Chains A and B, each alone.
Chain A
Amino acid sequence: MGNRISCQNTLISVSNLSFSRGDKKIFDDISLEFERGKITAIMGPSGTGKTTLLKLMGGQLLPNQGSIIVDGQNVHRLRRSELYNLRKRMGMLFQSGALLTDMSVYDNVAFPLREHTKLPESMIRTLVLMKLEAVGLRGAYSLMPNELSGGMARRVALARAIVLDPMMIMYDEPFTGQDPISMGVLVHLIKALNKTLGLTSIIVSHDVHETSAIADYIYVLSGGKVVGQGTPEAIRQSDSEWVQQFMTGAADGPVHFHYPAKDYMDDLLSTGKRY
Protein backbone atom coordinates (compact mmCIF):
# COMPACT_ATOMS: atom_id res chain seq x y z
CA MET A 1 0.00 0.00 0.00
CA GLY A 2 3.08 2.22 0.03
CA ASN A 3 2.68 3.73 -3.40
CA ARG A 4 -0.91 4.94 -2.97
CA ILE A 5 -1.68 8.34 -4.32
CA SER A 6 -2.41 11.01 -1.75
CA CYS A 7 -6.04 11.20 -0.78
CA GLN A 8 -7.20 14.68 -1.70
CA ASN A 9 -6.38 14.01 -5.32
CA THR A 10 -8.35 10.81 -5.43
CA LEU A 11 -11.69 10.93 -7.19
CA ILE A 12 -12.62 7.30 -6.83
CA SER A 13 -11.33 4.86 -4.32
CA VAL A 14 -12.24 1.21 -4.37
CA SER A 15 -11.36 -0.49 -1.12
CA ASN A 16 -11.37 -4.14 -0.15
CA LEU A 17 -13.92 -4.92 -2.83
CA SER A 18 -15.20 -8.47 -3.22
CA PHE A 19 -17.79 -9.55 -5.71
CA SER A 20 -18.92 -12.96 -6.81
CA ARG A 21 -21.38 -14.20 -9.33
CA GLY A 22 -22.84 -17.49 -8.19
CA ASP A 23 -19.92 -19.53 -6.91
CA LYS A 24 -17.40 -17.73 -9.04
CA LYS A 25 -15.38 -15.07 -7.31
CA ILE A 26 -14.87 -12.19 -9.70
CA PHE A 27 -13.07 -9.83 -7.33
CA ASP A 28 -11.31 -10.92 -4.22
CA ASP A 29 -10.54 -8.07 -1.86
CA ILE A 30 -9.14 -5.57 -4.35
CA SER A 31 -8.31 -1.93 -3.73
CA LEU A 32 -7.81 0.67 -6.45
CA GLU A 33 -7.46 4.44 -6.51
CA PHE A 34 -8.24 6.77 -9.39
CA GLU A 35 -6.63 10.17 -9.44
CA ARG A 36 -8.48 13.30 -10.47
CA GLY A 37 -7.72 14.60 -13.96
CA LYS A 38 -5.66 11.57 -14.97
CA ILE A 39 -6.20 8.66 -17.30
CA THR A 40 -6.15 5.45 -15.35
CA ALA A 41 -6.35 2.14 -17.16
CA ILE A 42 -7.59 -1.17 -15.85
CA MET A 43 -6.11 -3.96 -17.90
CA GLY A 44 -6.32 -7.66 -17.81
CA PRO A 45 -7.33 -10.66 -19.88
CA SER A 46 -10.94 -11.01 -21.02
CA GLY A 47 -13.22 -12.51 -18.42
CA THR A 48 -11.54 -10.90 -15.43
CA GLY A 49 -14.58 -8.77 -14.74
CA LYS A 50 -13.28 -5.42 -15.91
CA THR A 51 -16.72 -4.40 -17.17
CA THR A 52 -18.20 -5.67 -13.91
CA LEU A 53 -15.93 -3.27 -12.07
CA LEU A 54 -17.32 -0.36 -14.08
CA LYS A 55 -20.86 -1.48 -13.34
CA LEU A 56 -20.00 -1.65 -9.66
CA MET A 57 -18.65 1.89 -9.83
CA GLY A 58 -21.82 3.05 -11.55
CA GLY A 59 -23.93 1.46 -8.83
CA GLN A 60 -25.58 -0.99 -11.21
CA LEU A 61 -24.30 -3.94 -9.21
CA LEU A 62 -23.92 -4.40 -5.48
CA PRO A 63 -20.60 -5.70 -4.09
CA ASN A 64 -20.50 -8.51 -1.56
CA GLN A 65 -17.95 -6.64 0.48
CA GLY A 66 -16.00 -3.44 0.45
CA SER A 67 -16.88 0.02 -0.69
CA ILE A 68 -16.53 2.32 -3.64
CA ILE A 69 -16.23 6.02 -2.86
CA VAL A 70 -16.83 8.35 -5.79
CA ASP A 71 -16.17 12.03 -5.10
CA GLY A 72 -16.67 11.48 -1.39
CA GLN A 73 -19.89 9.50 -1.74
CA ASN A 74 -20.23 5.81 -1.08
CA VAL A 75 -21.96 4.62 -4.23
CA HIS A 76 -23.75 1.71 -2.62
CA ARG A 77 -25.01 3.61 0.41
CA LEU A 78 -26.73 6.31 -1.63
CA ARG A 79 -30.44 6.60 -1.95
CA ARG A 80 -31.78 6.10 -5.42
CA SER A 81 -32.22 9.78 -6.20
CA GLU A 82 -28.74 10.57 -4.90
CA LEU A 83 -27.28 7.78 -6.99
CA TYR A 84 -29.04 9.15 -10.06
CA ASN A 85 -27.66 12.60 -9.32
CA LEU A 86 -24.17 11.15 -9.02
CA ARG A 87 -24.59 9.28 -12.29
CA LYS A 88 -25.34 12.53 -14.08
CA ARG A 89 -21.75 13.46 -13.31
CA MET A 90 -20.37 10.09 -14.42
CA GLY A 91 -20.17 9.45 -18.12
CA MET A 92 -19.89 5.92 -19.38
CA LEU A 93 -18.98 4.72 -22.81
CA PHE A 94 -20.24 1.22 -23.44
CA GLN A 95 -18.42 -1.25 -25.61
CA SER A 96 -21.23 -1.26 -28.18
CA GLY A 97 -21.91 2.46 -27.82
CA ALA A 98 -25.40 1.65 -26.51
CA LEU A 99 -26.95 4.29 -28.75
CA LEU A 100 -30.73 4.35 -28.70
CA THR A 101 -31.55 2.80 -32.04
CA ASP A 102 -34.87 4.54 -32.56
CA MET A 103 -33.35 8.03 -32.53
CA SER A 104 -31.03 9.90 -34.84
CA VAL A 105 -27.48 10.80 -33.85
CA TYR A 106 -28.66 14.30 -32.95
CA ASP A 107 -31.48 13.04 -30.72
CA ASN A 108 -29.16 10.55 -29.07
CA VAL A 109 -26.71 13.24 -28.05
CA ALA A 110 -29.58 15.52 -27.02
CA PHE A 111 -31.18 12.72 -24.98
CA PRO A 112 -29.50 13.37 -21.59
CA LEU A 113 -30.13 17.11 -21.96
CA ARG A 114 -33.79 16.61 -22.73
CA GLU A 115 -34.17 14.16 -19.86
CA HIS A 116 -32.35 16.13 -17.22
CA THR A 117 -32.63 19.78 -18.13
CA LYS A 118 -35.33 22.15 -19.23
CA LEU A 119 -33.07 23.96 -21.67
CA PRO A 120 -34.74 25.54 -24.70
CA GLU A 121 -34.37 23.62 -27.92
CA SER A 122 -32.10 26.28 -29.43
CA MET A 123 -29.58 25.88 -26.61
CA ILE A 124 -29.78 22.10 -26.82
CA ARG A 125 -28.99 22.41 -30.50
CA THR A 126 -25.91 24.50 -29.78
CA LEU A 127 -24.65 22.10 -27.12
CA VAL A 128 -25.28 19.03 -29.24
CA LEU A 129 -23.52 20.47 -32.25
CA MET A 130 -20.56 21.52 -30.09
CA LYS A 131 -20.15 18.03 -28.68
CA LEU A 132 -20.57 16.45 -32.08
CA GLU A 133 -17.96 18.82 -33.45
CA ALA A 134 -15.61 17.76 -30.67
CA VAL A 135 -15.81 14.14 -31.82
CA GLY A 136 -15.72 15.21 -35.47
CA LEU A 137 -19.20 14.01 -36.40
CA ARG A 138 -21.19 17.22 -36.67
CA GLY A 139 -21.92 16.37 -40.30
CA ALA A 140 -23.49 13.06 -39.30
CA TYR A 141 -26.14 14.50 -36.98
CA SER A 142 -29.09 13.33 -39.07
CA LEU A 143 -27.94 9.72 -39.48
CA MET A 144 -29.58 6.87 -37.61
CA PRO A 145 -27.39 4.60 -35.43
CA ASN A 146 -27.69 1.69 -37.89
CA GLU A 147 -26.07 3.85 -40.56
CA LEU A 148 -22.93 4.38 -38.50
CA SER A 149 -19.78 2.30 -38.46
CA GLY A 150 -18.67 0.84 -35.13
CA GLY A 151 -16.07 3.54 -34.60
CA MET A 152 -18.49 6.33 -35.46
CA ALA A 153 -21.11 4.87 -33.09
CA ARG A 154 -18.55 4.95 -30.31
CA ARG A 155 -17.69 8.55 -31.07
CA VAL A 156 -21.36 9.52 -31.01
CA ALA A 157 -21.70 7.71 -27.70
CA LEU A 158 -18.70 9.64 -26.48
CA ALA A 159 -20.33 12.91 -27.48
CA ARG A 160 -23.43 11.80 -25.60
CA ALA A 161 -21.37 10.85 -22.54
CA ILE A 162 -19.80 14.32 -22.34
CA VAL A 163 -22.89 16.34 -23.16
CA LEU A 164 -23.75 16.86 -19.48
CA ASP A 165 -20.13 17.89 -18.77
CA PRO A 166 -19.39 15.08 -16.32
CA MET A 167 -16.46 14.98 -13.95
CA MET A 168 -15.34 11.59 -15.22
CA ILE A 169 -15.80 9.11 -18.03
CA MET A 170 -15.54 5.36 -17.88
CA TYR A 171 -14.56 3.73 -21.14
CA ASP A 172 -15.50 0.10 -21.53
CA GLU A 173 -13.15 -1.52 -24.05
CA PRO A 174 -13.03 1.53 -26.31
CA PHE A 175 -10.56 0.03 -28.76
CA THR A 176 -11.98 -3.43 -29.26
CA GLY A 177 -12.77 -4.35 -32.83
CA GLN A 178 -11.65 -1.07 -34.36
CA ASP A 179 -9.61 -0.62 -37.49
CA PRO A 180 -6.25 1.15 -36.97
CA ILE A 181 -7.62 4.51 -38.11
CA SER A 182 -10.68 4.58 -35.82
CA MET A 183 -8.46 3.27 -33.07
CA GLY A 184 -6.09 6.16 -33.61
CA VAL A 185 -9.02 8.60 -33.66
CA LEU A 186 -10.35 7.22 -30.37
CA VAL A 187 -6.95 7.28 -28.69
CA HIS A 188 -6.53 10.87 -29.76
CA LEU A 189 -10.06 11.79 -28.63
CA ILE A 190 -9.75 10.26 -25.20
CA LYS A 191 -6.48 12.05 -24.60
CA ALA A 192 -7.75 15.36 -25.98
CA LEU A 193 -11.03 15.29 -24.06
CA ASN A 194 -9.26 14.41 -20.87
CA LYS A 195 -7.01 17.42 -21.29
CA THR A 196 -9.47 20.01 -22.56
CA LEU A 197 -12.42 19.13 -20.32
CA GLY A 198 -10.34 18.29 -17.26
CA LEU A 199 -11.99 14.90 -17.06
CA THR A 200 -10.94 11.96 -15.01
CA SER A 201 -10.82 8.99 -17.34
CA ILE A 202 -10.97 5.32 -16.55
CA ILE A 203 -10.22 2.98 -19.39
CA VAL A 204 -10.99 -0.68 -19.20
CA SER A 205 -9.13 -2.46 -21.96
CA HIS A 206 -6.98 -5.32 -23.02
CA ASP A 207 -5.35 -3.48 -25.89
CA VAL A 208 -1.90 -3.12 -24.44
CA HIS A 209 -0.25 -0.69 -26.85
CA GLU A 210 -3.03 1.85 -27.27
CA THR A 211 -3.82 1.92 -23.60
CA SER A 212 -0.30 2.21 -22.34
CA ALA A 213 0.26 5.01 -24.85
CA ILE A 214 -2.26 7.31 -23.16
CA ALA A 215 -2.64 6.03 -19.59
CA ASP A 216 -1.02 7.81 -16.68
CA TYR A 217 -1.42 4.85 -14.38
CA ILE A 218 -2.25 1.21 -15.01
CA TYR A 219 -3.76 -1.54 -12.89
CA VAL A 220 -3.42 -5.09 -14.16
CA LEU A 221 -6.12 -7.44 -12.91
CA SER A 222 -6.15 -11.18 -13.11
CA GLY A 223 -8.01 -13.88 -11.27
CA GLY A 224 -9.85 -11.37 -9.13
CA LYS A 225 -6.67 -9.75 -7.82
CA VAL A 226 -4.57 -6.76 -8.71
CA VAL A 227 -1.42 -8.38 -10.03
CA GLY A 228 0.41 -5.24 -11.01
CA GLN A 229 0.15 -1.48 -10.91
CA GLY A 230 2.19 1.54 -11.81
CA THR A 231 2.96 3.90 -14.65
CA PRO A 232 3.09 2.32 -18.12
CA GLU A 233 6.85 2.35 -17.96
CA ALA A 234 6.93 0.61 -14.60
CA ILE A 235 4.42 -1.98 -15.77
CA ARG A 236 6.45 -2.77 -18.86
CA GLN A 237 9.47 -3.44 -16.72
CA SER A 238 7.59 -5.34 -14.07
CA ASP A 239 9.17 -8.57 -12.96
CA SER A 240 5.80 -10.23 -12.34
CA GLU A 241 5.26 -13.19 -14.64
CA TRP A 242 1.54 -12.42 -14.91
CA VAL A 243 2.15 -8.92 -16.06
CA GLN A 244 4.87 -9.93 -18.45
CA GLN A 245 2.69 -12.59 -20.03
CA PHE A 246 -0.12 -10.12 -20.47
CA MET A 247 2.01 -7.31 -21.86
CA THR A 248 3.86 -9.52 -24.32
CA GLY A 249 0.90 -11.70 -25.22
CA ALA A 250 2.50 -15.10 -24.64
CA ALA A 251 0.13 -18.03 -25.19
CA ASP A 252 0.97 -19.90 -22.05
CA GLY A 253 2.30 -18.76 -18.74
CA PRO A 254 0.71 -18.07 -15.39
CA VAL A 255 -2.55 -17.66 -17.30
CA HIS A 256 -3.00 -21.07 -18.80
CA PHE A 257 -3.98 -21.78 -22.34
CA HIS A 258 -6.46 -24.41 -21.10
CA TYR A 259 -9.66 -23.66 -19.26
CA PRO A 260 -9.55 -25.61 -15.97
CA ALA A 261 -10.68 -29.18 -16.67
CA LYS A 262 -10.28 -32.61 -15.23
CA ASP A 263 -7.58 -34.94 -16.42
CA TYR A 264 -7.52 -35.19 -20.21
CA MET A 265 -7.12 -38.99 -20.37
CA ASP A 266 -9.84 -39.55 -17.79
CA ASP A 267 -12.17 -37.36 -19.76
CA LEU A 268 -11.51 -39.16 -23.05
CA LEU A 269 -11.97 -42.59 -21.52
CA SER A 270 -15.05 -41.77 -19.47
CA THR A 271 -18.47 -43.12 -20.44
CA GLY A 272 -19.63 -39.91 -21.98
CA LYS A 273 -22.15 -38.84 -19.43
CA ARG A 274 -23.78 -35.61 -20.49
CA TYR A 275 -23.70 -32.55 -18.32
Chain B
Amino acid sequence: MIELLAHLGKNTRSSFSKLGRGTFFLLQCLAGIISVLPRPRLLLNQMYSVGVLSFLIISISGLFVGMVLGLQGFYILSDFGAETTLGVMVATSLVRELGPVVSALLFAGRAGSALTAEIGLMKATEQLSGMEMMAVDPIKRIISPRFLAGFLSMPLLATLFSAIGIIGGQIVGSGLLGVDEGAYWAQMQAKLDFYDDIINGVIKSVVFGFVTSWIALFEGHDAVPTSEGISRATTRTVVNSAFSILGLDFILTALMFGDD
Protein backbone atom coordinates (compact mmCIF):
# COMPACT_ATOMS: atom_id res chain seq x y z
CA MET B 1 0.00 0.00 0.00
CA ILE B 2 2.72 2.43 0.99
CA GLU B 3 4.71 1.29 -2.03
CA LEU B 4 1.71 2.07 -4.21
CA LEU B 5 1.39 5.52 -2.68
CA ALA B 6 5.07 6.17 -3.11
CA HIS B 7 4.83 5.03 -6.72
CA LEU B 8 1.84 7.27 -7.27
CA GLY B 9 3.59 10.21 -5.68
CA LYS B 10 6.66 9.68 -7.80
CA ASN B 11 4.56 9.48 -10.96
CA THR B 12 2.65 12.63 -10.09
CA ARG B 13 5.84 14.45 -9.40
CA SER B 14 7.43 13.36 -12.64
CA SER B 15 4.38 14.34 -14.66
CA PHE B 16 4.36 17.77 -13.07
CA SER B 17 8.03 18.17 -13.77
CA LYS B 18 7.35 17.16 -17.36
CA LEU B 19 4.61 19.73 -17.61
CA GLY B 20 7.02 22.31 -16.25
CA ARG B 21 9.71 21.39 -18.75
CA GLY B 22 7.08 21.43 -21.49
CA THR B 23 5.94 24.92 -20.58
CA PHE B 24 9.50 26.19 -20.44
CA PHE B 25 10.14 24.57 -23.80
CA LEU B 26 7.05 26.23 -25.26
CA LEU B 27 8.15 29.65 -24.03
CA GLN B 28 11.61 29.20 -25.53
CA CYS B 29 10.05 28.01 -28.73
CA LEU B 30 7.70 31.01 -28.92
CA ALA B 31 10.58 33.37 -28.19
CA GLY B 32 12.54 31.69 -30.97
CA ILE B 33 9.85 32.50 -33.52
CA ILE B 34 11.12 36.08 -33.66
CA SER B 35 14.39 34.88 -35.11
CA VAL B 36 12.58 32.75 -37.71
CA LEU B 37 10.77 35.73 -39.22
CA PRO B 38 13.81 37.25 -40.95
CA ARG B 39 14.58 33.84 -42.44
CA PRO B 40 11.48 32.73 -44.31
CA ARG B 41 13.46 30.00 -46.05
CA LEU B 42 13.54 27.98 -42.80
CA LEU B 43 9.78 28.28 -42.46
CA LEU B 44 9.20 27.44 -46.11
CA ASN B 45 11.16 24.19 -45.88
CA GLN B 46 9.13 23.13 -42.87
CA MET B 47 5.82 24.20 -44.41
CA TYR B 48 6.74 21.75 -47.14
CA SER B 49 7.40 18.77 -44.91
CA VAL B 50 4.64 19.54 -42.41
CA GLY B 51 1.94 21.01 -44.65
CA VAL B 52 2.40 19.93 -48.24
CA LEU B 53 3.24 16.35 -47.36
CA SER B 54 0.08 16.10 -45.23
CA PHE B 55 -2.03 17.57 -48.02
CA LEU B 56 -2.76 14.30 -49.81
CA ILE B 57 -3.91 12.31 -46.78
CA ILE B 58 -6.02 15.24 -45.60
CA SER B 59 -7.76 15.79 -48.91
CA ILE B 60 -8.46 12.12 -49.57
CA SER B 61 -9.79 11.63 -46.04
CA GLY B 62 -11.87 14.79 -46.37
CA LEU B 63 -13.42 13.54 -49.58
CA PHE B 64 -14.36 10.20 -48.09
CA VAL B 65 -15.64 11.61 -44.81
CA GLY B 66 -17.84 14.01 -46.80
CA MET B 67 -19.12 11.20 -49.00
CA VAL B 68 -19.97 9.02 -46.02
CA LEU B 69 -21.74 11.94 -44.35
CA GLY B 70 -23.74 12.48 -47.55
CA LEU B 71 -24.76 8.84 -47.63
CA GLN B 72 -25.64 8.44 -43.96
CA GLY B 73 -27.26 11.83 -43.75
CA PHE B 74 -29.44 11.07 -46.75
CA TYR B 75 -30.80 7.84 -45.22
CA ILE B 76 -31.67 9.54 -41.95
CA LEU B 77 -33.04 12.75 -43.41
CA SER B 78 -35.12 11.03 -46.09
CA ASP B 79 -37.09 9.32 -43.30
CA PHE B 80 -38.33 12.78 -42.36
CA GLY B 81 -38.68 13.96 -45.90
CA ALA B 82 -35.97 16.51 -45.23
CA GLU B 83 -33.35 15.47 -47.82
CA THR B 84 -33.02 19.06 -48.91
CA THR B 85 -31.31 19.87 -45.63
CA LEU B 86 -28.56 17.33 -46.43
CA GLY B 87 -26.21 20.16 -47.31
CA VAL B 88 -26.81 21.81 -43.96
CA MET B 89 -26.07 18.60 -42.11
CA VAL B 90 -22.92 17.77 -44.05
CA ALA B 91 -21.56 21.29 -43.90
CA THR B 92 -22.35 21.89 -40.24
CA SER B 93 -20.77 18.67 -39.07
CA LEU B 94 -17.69 19.22 -41.22
CA VAL B 95 -17.11 22.87 -40.55
CA ARG B 96 -17.79 22.77 -36.83
CA GLU B 97 -16.43 19.40 -35.79
CA LEU B 98 -15.11 16.87 -38.25
CA GLY B 99 -12.97 19.25 -40.26
CA PRO B 100 -10.91 20.58 -37.35
CA VAL B 101 -10.92 17.37 -35.29
CA VAL B 102 -10.31 14.69 -37.90
CA SER B 103 -7.72 16.72 -39.75
CA ALA B 104 -5.94 17.45 -36.45
CA LEU B 105 -5.93 13.72 -35.61
CA LEU B 106 -4.57 12.90 -39.04
CA PHE B 107 -2.05 15.71 -38.70
CA ALA B 108 -0.85 14.31 -35.37
CA GLY B 109 -0.44 10.90 -36.96
CA ARG B 110 1.17 12.09 -40.16
CA ALA B 111 3.20 15.17 -39.27
CA GLY B 112 3.35 15.06 -35.46
CA SER B 113 4.89 11.61 -35.26
CA ALA B 114 7.36 12.52 -37.99
CA LEU B 115 8.40 15.64 -36.11
CA THR B 116 8.93 13.72 -32.87
CA ALA B 117 10.98 11.06 -34.58
CA GLU B 118 13.04 13.63 -36.45
CA ILE B 119 13.85 15.71 -33.39
CA GLY B 120 14.44 12.61 -31.26
CA LEU B 121 16.87 11.21 -33.80
CA MET B 122 18.63 14.54 -34.10
CA LYS B 123 19.07 14.44 -30.36
CA ALA B 124 20.25 10.83 -30.39
CA THR B 125 22.80 11.47 -33.13
CA GLU B 126 24.11 14.54 -31.25
CA GLN B 127 23.00 16.89 -34.02
CA LEU B 128 21.30 19.19 -31.53
CA SER B 129 24.30 19.10 -29.23
CA GLY B 130 26.57 19.69 -32.18
CA MET B 131 24.58 22.71 -33.19
CA GLU B 132 24.85 24.13 -29.70
CA MET B 133 28.60 23.72 -29.85
CA MET B 134 28.60 25.54 -33.18
CA ALA B 135 26.94 28.39 -31.27
CA VAL B 136 23.65 27.82 -33.08
CA ASP B 137 20.63 27.62 -30.82
CA PRO B 138 18.77 24.46 -31.87
CA ILE B 139 15.52 25.84 -30.48
CA LYS B 140 15.69 28.81 -32.80
CA ARG B 141 17.14 26.98 -35.76
CA ILE B 142 15.27 23.66 -35.59
CA ILE B 143 12.31 23.80 -33.24
CA SER B 144 10.73 27.21 -33.78
CA PRO B 145 10.44 26.98 -37.59
CA ARG B 146 8.77 23.59 -37.25
CA PHE B 147 6.42 24.91 -34.60
CA LEU B 148 5.43 27.88 -36.70
CA ALA B 149 4.94 25.67 -39.75
CA GLY B 150 2.66 23.29 -37.84
CA PHE B 151 0.73 26.15 -36.34
CA LEU B 152 0.16 27.77 -39.75
CA SER B 153 -0.49 24.58 -41.70
CA MET B 154 -3.16 23.16 -39.43
CA PRO B 155 -5.93 25.71 -40.16
CA LEU B 156 -5.16 25.52 -43.88
CA LEU B 157 -5.42 21.73 -43.79
CA ALA B 158 -8.62 21.78 -41.75
CA THR B 159 -10.24 24.29 -44.09
CA LEU B 160 -9.28 22.16 -47.07
CA PHE B 161 -10.64 19.10 -45.34
CA SER B 162 -14.01 20.77 -44.75
CA ALA B 163 -14.24 22.23 -48.25
CA ILE B 164 -13.37 18.96 -49.94
CA GLY B 165 -15.72 17.11 -47.61
CA ILE B 166 -18.62 19.39 -48.51
CA ILE B 167 -17.94 18.78 -52.18
CA GLY B 168 -17.76 15.04 -51.47
CA GLY B 169 -21.16 15.21 -49.75
CA GLN B 170 -22.56 17.02 -52.76
CA ILE B 171 -21.17 14.43 -55.17
CA VAL B 172 -22.92 11.64 -53.27
CA GLY B 173 -26.03 13.61 -52.32
CA SER B 174 -26.98 15.19 -55.58
CA GLY B 175 -24.89 13.10 -57.94
CA LEU B 176 -25.90 9.63 -56.74
CA LEU B 177 -28.94 10.06 -54.53
CA GLY B 178 -30.75 12.79 -56.40
CA VAL B 179 -30.95 15.61 -53.84
CA ASP B 180 -31.54 18.85 -55.68
CA GLU B 181 -28.18 20.55 -56.15
CA GLY B 182 -29.60 24.03 -55.72
CA ALA B 183 -31.28 23.04 -52.46
CA TYR B 184 -28.06 21.47 -51.20
CA TRP B 185 -26.18 24.74 -51.52
CA ALA B 186 -29.02 27.17 -50.80
CA GLN B 187 -30.08 25.56 -47.52
CA MET B 188 -26.44 25.41 -46.48
CA GLN B 189 -25.93 29.08 -47.21
CA ALA B 190 -29.06 30.03 -45.34
CA LYS B 191 -28.12 28.08 -42.25
CA LEU B 192 -24.37 28.42 -41.88
CA ASP B 193 -22.96 31.60 -40.50
CA PHE B 194 -19.50 32.75 -41.52
CA TYR B 195 -18.42 33.86 -38.06
CA ASP B 196 -20.30 31.42 -35.86
CA ASP B 197 -19.54 28.33 -37.85
CA ILE B 198 -16.62 28.80 -40.17
CA ILE B 199 -14.42 31.15 -38.17
CA ASN B 200 -15.06 29.15 -35.00
CA GLY B 201 -14.00 26.01 -36.85
CA VAL B 202 -10.83 27.75 -38.00
CA ILE B 203 -10.13 28.91 -34.43
CA LYS B 204 -10.47 25.32 -33.28
CA SER B 205 -7.96 24.14 -35.83
CA VAL B 206 -5.53 26.91 -34.85
CA VAL B 207 -5.70 25.71 -31.25
CA PHE B 208 -5.25 22.09 -32.31
CA GLY B 209 -2.31 23.00 -34.53
CA PHE B 210 -0.67 24.84 -31.67
CA VAL B 211 -1.13 21.99 -29.20
CA THR B 212 -0.19 19.20 -31.60
CA SER B 213 2.99 20.92 -32.76
CA TRP B 214 3.93 21.67 -29.18
CA ILE B 215 3.41 18.09 -28.04
CA ALA B 216 5.21 16.62 -31.04
CA LEU B 217 8.26 18.85 -30.76
CA PHE B 218 8.48 18.61 -27.00
CA GLU B 219 8.23 14.82 -26.98
CA GLY B 220 11.01 14.69 -29.56
CA HIS B 221 13.18 17.12 -27.65
CA ASP B 222 12.49 15.38 -24.35
CA ALA B 223 12.91 11.84 -25.72
CA VAL B 224 15.38 9.44 -24.21
CA PRO B 225 17.95 9.33 -27.02
CA THR B 226 17.75 5.61 -27.74
CA SER B 227 15.72 3.69 -30.29
CA GLU B 228 13.27 2.62 -27.61
CA GLY B 229 13.03 6.10 -26.20
CA ILE B 230 12.23 7.58 -29.59
CA SER B 231 9.65 4.94 -30.38
CA ARG B 232 7.96 5.62 -27.05
CA ALA B 233 8.09 9.35 -27.62
CA THR B 234 6.46 8.94 -31.02
CA THR B 235 3.68 6.88 -29.52
CA ARG B 236 3.19 9.45 -26.78
CA THR B 237 2.93 12.20 -29.37
CA VAL B 238 0.06 10.49 -31.15
CA VAL B 239 -1.74 9.44 -27.96
CA ASN B 240 -1.33 12.72 -26.10
CA SER B 241 -2.23 14.76 -29.16
CA ALA B 242 -5.38 12.73 -29.69
CA PHE B 243 -6.43 13.18 -26.06
CA SER B 244 -5.68 16.88 -26.10
CA ILE B 245 -7.49 17.42 -29.38
CA LEU B 246 -10.64 15.64 -28.24
CA GLY B 247 -10.61 17.18 -24.77
CA LEU B 248 -10.01 20.68 -26.09
CA ASP B 249 -12.67 20.13 -28.71
CA PHE B 250 -15.23 19.55 -26.00
CA ILE B 251 -14.19 22.68 -24.12
CA LEU B 252 -14.06 24.83 -27.24
CA THR B 253 -17.42 23.54 -28.44
CA ALA B 254 -18.99 24.35 -25.09
CA LEU B 255 -17.51 27.84 -25.24
CA MET B 256 -18.37 28.57 -28.84
CA PHE B 257 -21.69 26.94 -29.51
CA GLY B 258 -23.04 26.85 -25.98
CA ASP B 259 -25.64 29.59 -26.16
CA ASP B 260 -27.19 28.92 -29.50
Which residues of A pack against B, CB within 8 Å? 55, 58, 60, 84-85, 87-88, 90-92, 94-96, 98-101, 111-112, 115-116, 157, 160, 164
Contacts and interface: CB of A to CB of B under 8 A. Distances in A.
Contacts of A160: 134
Contact of A60 (B122, B133, B136): B133
B12 interface: no
Nearest to B140: A115
Chain B interface extent, by class: 10 to 19
A161 B110 CA distance: 35
B126 A87 contact: no
Contact of A96 (B126, B132, B133, B141): B126
B166 to A, nearest CB: 37
Given A100-B131, A115-B136, 9 more contacts: A55-B129, A87-B135, A94-B133, A98-B127, A100-B127, A101-B122, A111-B136, A160-B134, A164-B134
Would you list the 4 A-B pairs with minimal beta carbon distance, nearest first?
A: A98-B130, A87-B135, A98-B126, A92-B133
7 contacts: A58-B133, A60-B132, A87-B134, A98-B125, A98-B129, A100-B127, A157-B130
Contact of A112 (B121, B127, B136): B136
B127 A101 contact: yes
Contact of A90 (B121, B126, B127, B133): B133
B133 A87 contact: yes
A99 B137 CA distance: 16
Contacts of A84: 135, 137
Interface string B71-108: 00000000000000000000000000000000000000
Nearest to B141: A115
A108 B184 CA distance: 56
Contacts of A90: 133
